[in-house]
Chains A and B, each alone.
Chain A
């Protein structure tokens, strides 16, 4: 997924605002919003909140987790554990970026929050790289990423090598499956449908991967 797509999906999250105008309930395709009364908090999706903020029609209230104390705890926990810890919101990175860019005057201690979120993000990226590295070394065919944020994959600057790595991994797995005992891997089933699915995935990833032509996987295997 492109970073822009992920940001688009993140904008559907709800956030609290305090409007300074009044408007009755509005009925949109995604659901009903409102009614808006001056001074009374109301929950709206982030895209509407940003638009209203830019038109000076509301004041944003930061989400509960966007607080220096809580973020410090999350960061410390992330640093202690080896696996990923659950994040307060699947879109924490996008929300931080959007809210701090457009509404930093409504968020207290915005600079510290930015630093803390970035620290947490860096720790998680490092874990992702480590686990991918060990995955290849140990020739594991199955990798479980609990609570891995959706955005970790496409938006990291190291995505291109990671994608290449994923590509090679898939190729390696299919090779392994073809030549070794099927009982070796965990998720290799003999179901012909799943192999078709796998081939389809391979084709799809071919289109997305910007690999060097010589490294492109050959079809027709596995």
Chain B
């Protein structure tokens, strides 16, 4: 059931209760969790936080805690499957689901009592009408029983006539029923075929805080980071991103208008958010401009930096802007001020000449103290790499907690650690992409492109985590589209596989939609993977909340792929 008034139907209910928060492992969920935690702290709500990385963990956590809690809040998990069937809860447990995964399962939408969806209604959800999917089962049975009874007691002649009529009626009904069921299957198939993402959960939580007039600049910043995470991971369309940025821009000007007033300006330690039409280069203010140009997907793909020609083009690009190599290779903060002043406009002009039309993007940046300035995408990269840090430093949840902490302003050391890890990750991605393209590892299988990372590849361990692998696949697809001359291949989606756990012999596989100008980011690989796994009875684990990411055994890989090819062609 959709919650229309977040405050009355959600927050006021849980403010006096103990709540269990189940949070998925992505940056948007972390930001939403932070906002909700801040609200809970204001009102002294008792809660327990459990990070979950997949369906199995969700079930385990639920089983552990179901005796102690009646109210569960699920963040970025749980909307796209039938929750009641998976978790089998008691009658009096309530689930509040704030999830950006779509499509929302129809059972969750039409359940009136236990499942409440914290979703904005403006999102085009296209949920099928109730009558098309559900039918009163009892009516059907009664009618059949009646008709059977009637056929027993009557006189012979009339009996036969009536019997014939009833047989005709019954066959008509059965045919209607079969037609209805076929239509239902078709509707459900269309509805659930494509996976996509709706509004960021962090923005939904910020809305809740705003409605309660408890919104702070900090919470606004987390909402911005949640939205930027969706953009960095290519989960939403450009149009939606721009619309959401507009919404957040209004909040930003409301909170941050005091900076212009000289008389009453805020202390320098106060946090300020500013809207910027900034460069799309990853981490460029914490790195050198040269490194950033080399390791950002957009520039490296457009300039084709994996080839020698590409390197020459980069030099031409820098020369065109008039930036000396020595300046560009040192840390950004140490570059000459005269070069930094008009940097954005200069780069945009030159970029237009080299075919990079979208080098600037609308985003926000945060500024507190004298030396701390971060852009939203910096924080996204840092938090993602902290969360998926492969170095095990304790129990499983330390990475999650560390990433959660790094979002607070007081934990700058964790943030800087995250930035360093992010630089390593971006470099590893670039090198892997370059090697894949140079060695032609991306092969066309017919209906899709396929690339598989071998075990001995450097940094392959980094890509055993889902988000990193998704980032790698998107960069690879973009670079491949720029490098190939085959027009048909440019429109194909990509399936990427990487070794996950060498001891257990598992492989993690990711499917991403094709890279087109006006892509609507809808991904059909979720259902395709399910069907292929069923038909070949491969040992797969659909553990991830996003259906297009699965794990399977290395031995079953080839037959799985064959099934997938035959399914999609």
- What residues of chain A have their CB less than 8 Å away from a CB belonging to chain B? 20, 55-57, 100, 104-105, 107-111, 114
Contacts and interface: CB of A to CB of B under 8 A. Distances in A.
Contact of A111 (B42, B213, B263, B268): B268
Nearest 10 interchain pairs by C-beta = A110-B267, A104-B267, A55-B42, A108-B264, A111-B267, A56-B214, A105-B270, A56-B42, A111-B268, A105-B266
Contacts of A107: 267
A17 to B, nearest CB: 16
A188 to B, nearest CB: 51
A131 B268 CA distance: 37
Contact of B266 (A20, A110, A114): A110
B131 interface: no
B233 interface: no
- Chain B's interface size range is 10 to 19
A107 B264 CA distance: 9
Nearest to B217: A105
Contacts of B84: none
Contacts of A109: 264-265
Mostly helix, strand, loop or mixed at chain B's interface?
A: loop
A114 B269 CA distance: 12
Interface SS, A side:
loop
A38 to B, nearest CB: 11
A108 B266 CA distance: 7
Contacts of A57: 42
Contacts of A100: 267
Nearest to A101: B269
Interface in B259-309: 263-270
B41 interface: yes
A22 to B, nearest CB: 15
A55 B267 contact: no
Interface string B235-269: 00000000000000000000000000001111111
A100 B267 CA distance: 9
B41 A55 contact: yes
Contact of A56 (B216, B264, B267, B268): B216
B264 A104 contact: no
Interface in B29-51: 41-43
Interface centre among B214, B216, B266 (most CB of A within 10 A): B266
A114 B214 CA distance: 28
6 contacts: A55-B41, A56-B214, A57-B42, A104-B267, A104-B269, A107-B267
A105 B269 CA distance: 9
Contacts of A20: 213
Given A55-B41, A111-B267, 18 more contacts: A20-B213, A55-B42, A56-B214, A56-B216, A57-B42, A104-B266, A104-B267, A104-B269, A104-B270, A105-B266, A105-B270, A108-B263, A109-B264, A109-B265, A110-B266, A110-B269, A111-B268, A114-B267
